[in-house]
């Protein structure tokens, strides 16, 4: 994810949605960013984690029903056309801090 390349955060890219569970099992991942094609599977896996992370869904083609489903599941929805570094870093920082306070 090129917007995060300049950050000091540890970023792991996982191309296989089935492998997400292994990364989340330890409960040391505060935020998961995924695409709209696999968000539901990632969200369900995240909720089973020891310390569930926040789930951020990036949508190439946003639609209202998906947006509502993501919000109802406790996730965060960002259409790619409105994505910018400042917005992304602000959200990730807020979610990271909230996860560490729990």
Express each pLDDT in 76-88 by its tens digit: 999 988 888 888 8
Q: Show pLDDT as tens, one digit a residue, over the chain (102 residues).
A: 567 777 777 777 777 767 778 888 878 899 999 988 888 988 998 888 889 999 999 998 888 899 999 999 999 999 988 888 888 889 999 999 999 987
Q: Considering only CA atoms, which of 5, 70, 74, 3 is closest in space to residue 38?
A: 70
CATH fold for domain 2-101: Rossmann fold (3.40.50)
Residue recorded with tokens 């020891």: 50
Domains of the chain by residue range: 2-101
On whether the pTM is more than 0.85, the answer is yes
pLDDT at 27 (0 to 100): 82
pLDDT at 61 (0 to 100): 86
DSSP string, 34-63: EETTTHHHHHHHHHTSSSPPEEEEEESS--
């Amino acid at each position: 994810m090129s917007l995060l390349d300049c950050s000091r955060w540890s970023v792991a890219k996982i191309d296989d949605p089935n492998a997400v569970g292994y990364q989340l099992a330890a409960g040391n991942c505060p935020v998961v960013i995924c695409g709209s094609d696999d968000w539901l599977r990632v969200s369900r896996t995240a909720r089973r984690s020891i310390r569930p992370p926040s789930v951020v869904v990036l949508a190439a083609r946003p639609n209202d029903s998906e947006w509502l489903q993501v919000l109802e599941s406790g996730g965060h929805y960002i259409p790619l056309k409105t994505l910018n570094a400042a917005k992304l870093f602000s959200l990730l920082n807020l979610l990271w801090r909230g996860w560490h306070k729990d």
